[in-house]
Structure 1
Amino acid sequence: MPITLLPPDLVGKIAAGEVVERPASAVKELIENALDAGAGRISVEVRAGGRELLKVTDDGCGIPRDELPLALQQHATSKLRTADDLAHIATLGFRGEALGSLSAVARVTIVSRPPRAQSGHEIVGCGAERSAPRPVACPPGTTITVRELFANVPARLKFLRAAPTEHGVIGRIVTAYALARPEVRFELLIDGRRTLATDGGGDRHNAIVGVHGAEVAAQMLPLDPEAAEVPNVRVNGYVSAPALNRAHRQGIMLFVNGRWIQNRALGFALEEAYHSLLMIGRHPLAVVDVALPPELVDVNVHPTKSEVRFLDERAVCRALSRATRAAVLHFGRAAIPDFTLHAATYGAPISQGSLDSGVQLRWPNGPAGTLESLAPHPEGSPIRTAIAAVPERDGLPATALARAPQPIPPSTARGGPRPTPETPPGRLPPLRVLGQAGASYIIAEGPEGVFLIDQHAAHERILLDQLLAGAERAAPDSQLLLEPLILDLTPPQIEALESAGADLAALGFAIEPFGARAWAVRAVPAALAAGRVRNLGETLVAILEEASQGGQA
């Protein structure tokens, strides 16, 4: 087959395949263009997962009439002039590919009006066809409407996911830039329903409230830019307290000079700051913007501009890790209780006997309690510690001991023969309860040693088994709530809830919309009705968060 030049329309479709992978890619490009235009308000409207409609409206500088035809051409941009400009890129876009690529695979309508123009103009592009600009009435700014996405590229259209999935990905992109640019007011409408709105006041913490809710925002820790201690690198933003974590990394949002990026090294550096503070498989939430001179970072390394290359990546990672660690440790020091050891005689050396006399424990802003000692086991026993009696918390008794520990038979004492347990795989061996610690963990003894059991997790597993058993029946037991439980959900959580609506109903839940982002839980499975309804709501939101990121709910 001879070598020939490809026709322009085919070239455009091939180039668009790198830039516009799915509807969310188009939304990202249009939002970045709006931010580069100096917009203070950006509205994103999506229908049917982006197949029917994608519309992005901003109040930026607009596009003059004479430049509208150029805006739909490939590699036409106002952000670069010479090759030297590539070393000092300060804008989110710079290649001039977004609108040209979109018009190659969809029908694109641009309506724009510069602030000083008396009227706006409209132009339509689809494939190789371009209409002439015509005057229209419109407010200052730009509105770009994308219809029939991938209609002329069936190979790409058939690989699109279901509408709720595409809505979730689009919501994540809008959320990311709403957090990166808190001075810009963002609005997201999905199938006519407003699912996200920020105030645009410039306070990132308020933006976190608008995106994740007040409860999550209350557990976010501010980063001190001075804690990075790396020249030319400044770290701003928020990271979560160790208690706030997820089973996925989708809650970690990293920005470099305001650009949302994916960088494994930076992500690892951030999580390394939580070393020993998070359980295996759990990850923090973060909204972090790393600022450094443009000449120290290369953004022209990926078609979607989602990856960057640093001149000194180790220095950037070190700055991020130091700032994060400082914030987490500062929070930890404020939450650690004060311990005071009282010897039998003040001024005398502390001995084992004086330790047995009592340990004073004082929680911050709370009453003092005593760690009571129990009679130690006989010599040779592996257990010689006392079981704690902790301060009353969450309505649980101050002293929570199942029963006092008994001496261990000599045959199982340290150094003696230990029988080999015959426990079926996946099941615990027979355990003897020794006591309770922190009103949260059960201390038990088994053939292989001491077990520490999270009693809340064990209770959740029991409830899960009861729910699954009820779901197998045609009519699961359900309990109406006297007052509905109102959940404030993020756009991805709403999509996950709508996708799992039938499964939740089969378990006994009755959930319905109650506003823009609010959903009302009017009935719950009977097995859960006896518990604390507020805790149930928090658990349900956490499950939806996991499901919205592709986890197992």
Structure 2
Amino acid sequence: MGVIQKLPPSVVNQIAAGEVVERPASVVKEMMENAIDAKARRLEVSVERGGKDLIRIADDGEGMSPEDLPLAFTPHATSKLQTAEDLHRVRTLGFRGEALAAIAEISKVRCQTRRADASEGSEVQIEAGVAGPIKSCGCPVGTVMEVRNLFFNTPVRRAFLKSDSTEAGHVAETFARVALAHPEVHMTFRSSGKIVHDLPAVAGIRERIAAFFGRELAESLLWVEGKLDQTSLWGYVGHPSQSRSSTKGQYLFLGGRYVRDRSLSHALNEAYRGLLMVGRNPVAFLNLEIPPEEVDVNVHPTKIEVRFRDPQRVYSHLLSTLRQTFLGSDLHSRLQPVPGGKPTGPPTPVVEEPAPSWSPPANRPTPTPPASPAFNLDSEPADRQEIAAWFQPSRKPASPPMIPDSVGQIQPPEWSHSLPGRFEFAKGEAFNEFSSLEERRDEAPIQAAPSPAPVRLEPARPEPRREVDPVGHAKAIQVHDSYLIAETSEGMMVIDQHALHERIIYEELRKRVAEGRVESQGLLVPEPVHMAADEAAVVLEHADLLATLGLEIEGFGGDTVLVRSVPAMLSGLQPDRLLHDLGEHLATQPIPPTRDGLVAELLHMVSCKAAIKAGQKLTAEEIDALLERRELAADAHHCPHGRPTALIFTKSELEKQFGRI
């Protein structure tokens, strides 16, 4: 006799419930999506004890007929699919016909429903998968679903549920995801008899964002809009000052469905590279519209994960749209002094949410250009003459070259098939050459850095010169030997001298690497540097890459590394200190998955070490030279590590604090 047997339907449904229904929030998600599919305009969600005892969802949708009611709780019965080909063009939130059958198998369900053309409603009660007779009842048009005692017949599953407050929090998060994806539906959420959210229908999502995350965040969001063929992207992203310590503030919606996708998340983080500090994550509320045949939503039982037919195209569209938005936005950090000394976030005027139109509206205000950054690391200060020389104006009459923005800025990881090789974004003008290089050429021969395995970069498209808010150099002063205070047309600006200089050095190094002309300063006597074994191994492993940065090294036996040349514009740094810092960084920090990403990582570290430090007094000429080059730096509002370089105090806020208005 064989040992293989067909499982009873009840066991099959309980297995399906284990995949589809993880906790009460899963029930809320499935039923809310069913209500949206039924064209509901009003939706009410109520839970008791976090959904363990009761989940009640009422909608004013199309309802069901008495003939359809028992089929709704039958496995794999649905009105949303007819043939197998329909799986390749799903246009609804639900489509499998599994959820209601799985929920009814592990709970006590009562469903009341009525269509608009019916004189009375229909009701059915189901307990542990066993359905009672269909009865007539009085009820409004739509459907009311009540799920009681979830997992009552699977006590092991019920024992794994968390506390009532924790489960209620998961339900609230699920409610928020659906509410953000469908602002056109009036939604109400009650927990333990108390109204938590009562959200009227609105045209856009800004009001919904304010309801869930606060008015301050909603008013600091940046509108994002773009269209590429039949792929449309629209929504809001947060100002860099509104970052989070986790990814919980990222909401990506595809066709009205909340989704998670590693490729899209990576594109979002890459767009913010250099604008956020390490460990911080951006805030985003983005809607993606793609033809149904171009995406597969039948990947995961919860339908949260999706798979794109052309992921590279979607990745590049999201990344380029966000980057272009940032280039046309004012990303300065504005500080508003308030009573009690607590600064608030960057205020931006409350504007009406634009409708997603795929050509920019004519009345959209001209974006304000970006501004400056800030960072501070303890390190040996560079030679003062070296710093002053960096600020010398160029002797070359040629116009400043453009700075390609490819190095480490938007390089996707190698683990994804969706990742494009290069992206191009418009940038501002770069810096003039620093004449101190010519003054050093008598010290030792300068040669072009060897270029084994050069970093190839595509030139960026030029952007019209930005009108940067002028800084009154004559009125700029240094305080605490760390910050510069300058007058602007808006009020005043407090600049972190280290952060701004770090950005300038980074841009110059990045430009030289991109153009393949990093000049190296050869040492008259090569300097041996003794290092830890792991650090020596990792720097020698990346010797070719370091050579493209102007740092030529070779093994000298044991754990000793011989330094033959250093970058000419950073020759003031001690070779042993520079190599030790690079070795420690490469040995202890995660290595970026791409070559360009690693180049950017090294440039971040080198520019930070070479920049003037906090506590270092500057002369008036050095202050002027630093501020003059501020407007030439791309993304000058943040240092390469993501910290703001400047804070703006508006004139109106200052006058309010002094009681003038």
TM class by smaller structure: 0.5 to 0.7
User: Which ranges in structure 2 are unaligned for 5 or more consecutive residues?
Assistant: 332-366, 373-390, 398-431, 435-466, 498-571, 578-612, 624-640, 645-661
Paired residues of 2:199 and 2:208 also in contact (CA < 8 A): yes
The 3 A distance-change label for structure 1 pair 365 and 189 is farther
Paired residues of 2:482 and 2:617 also in contact (CA < 8 A): no
Pairing partner for 2:273 from 269, 275, 291: 275
The 3 A distance-change label for structure 1 pair 208 and 364 is farther
In 1, Cα distance between equivalents of 2:298 and 2:496: 61
Paired residues of 1:40 and 1:58 also in contact (CA < 8 A): yes
Q: Which residue matches 2:211?
A: 210
Q: Which residue matches 1:295?
A: 293
Matching of residues 56-455 of structure 1 within 5 Å: 56-226=57-227, 230-331=228-329, 332=331, 334=368, 336=370, 370-372=475-477, 388-390=484-486, 433-434=615-616
In 2, Cα distance between equivalents of 1:91 and 1:304: 14
Paired residues of 1:40 and 1:60 also in contact (CA < 8 A): yes
Q: Which residue matches 1:43?
A: 44
3-state secondary structure, aligned to 1:224: strand
Q: Give the AA of the match of 1:270.
A: L
In 1, Cα distance between equivalents of 2:573 and 2:261: 49
3-state secondary structure, aligned to 1:65: coil
In 2, Cα distance between equivalents of 1:373 and 1:148: 67
Q: Give the AA of the match of 1:20.
A: V
1:398 CA displacement = 8.3
Correspondence 1:34 to 2:35: yes
Q: Give the AA of the match of 1:210.
A: A
Q: Which residue matches 2:363?
A: none
3-state secondary structure, aligned to 1:287: strand
Calculate the TM-score normalised by the size of structure 1. 0.64
Paired residues of 1:223 and 1:327 also in contact (CA < 8 A): yes
User: Which ranges in structure 1 are unaligned for 5 or more consecutive residues?
Assistant: 353-361, 375-384, 402-412, 419-430, 439-451, 456-553
In 1, Cα distance between equivalents of 2:66 and 2:125: 13
Paired residues of 1:372 and 1:386 also in contact (CA < 8 A): no
3-state secondary structure, aligned to 1:26: helix
The 3 A distance-change label for structure 1 pair 150 and 82 is same
In 1, Cα distance between equivalents of 2:496 and 2:6: 80
Q: Which residue matches 1:534?
A: none
Question: How many equivalent pairs are there?
Answer: 393
In 1, Cα distance between equivalents of 2:471 and 2:313: 42
3-state secondary structure, aligned to 2:368: helix
In 2, Cα distance between equivalents of 1:65 and 1:368: 79
3-state secondary structure, aligned to 1:246: coil
In 1, Cα distance between equivalents of 2:157 and 2:493: 61
3-state secondary structure, aligned to 1:216: helix
1:66 CA displacement = 1.6
1:329 CA displacement = 2.4
Calculate the TM-score normalised by the size of structure 2. 0.54
1:400 CA displacement = 12
Paired residues of 2:29 and 2:174 also in contact (CA < 8 A): yes
Paired residues of 2:106 and 2:129 also in contact (CA < 8 A): no
Percent identity of the aligned residues? 36
1:389 CA displacement = 3.2
Paired residues of 1:42 and 1:59 also in contact (CA < 8 A): yes
3-state secondary structure, aligned to 2:58: strand
How big is each residue's C-alpha offset from its partner over 1:286-330, in whole Å with a ceiling of 9 and x where there is no partner? Answer: 111111111111111111111111100111111111122222222
Q: Give the AA of the match of 1:135.
A: S
Q: Which residue matches 1:7?
A: 8
How big is each residue's C-alpha offset from its partner over 1:61-84, in whole Å with a ceiling of 9 and x where there is no partner? Answer: 001112111111111111111112
In 2, Cα distance between equivalents of 1:35 and 1:416: 64
Paired residues of 2:101 and 2:129 also in contact (CA < 8 A): no
3-state secondary structure, aligned to 2:167: helix
1:388 CA displacement = 2.0
1:128 CA displacement = 3.2
1:210 CA displacement = 2.3
How big is each residue's C-alpha offset from its partner over 1:55-109, in whole Å with a ceiling of 9 and x where there is no partner? Answer: 1111100011121111111111111111121111100111111111100011111
Q: Give the AA of the match of 2:279.
A: G
Paired residues of 2:236 and 2:286 also in contact (CA < 8 A): yes
1:209 CA displacement = 2.0
In 2, Cα distance between equivalents of 1:299 and 1:192: 35
Q: CA RMSD in A?
A: 3.9
In 2, Cα distance between equivalents of 1:416 and 1:134: 86
1:158 CA displacement = 1.2
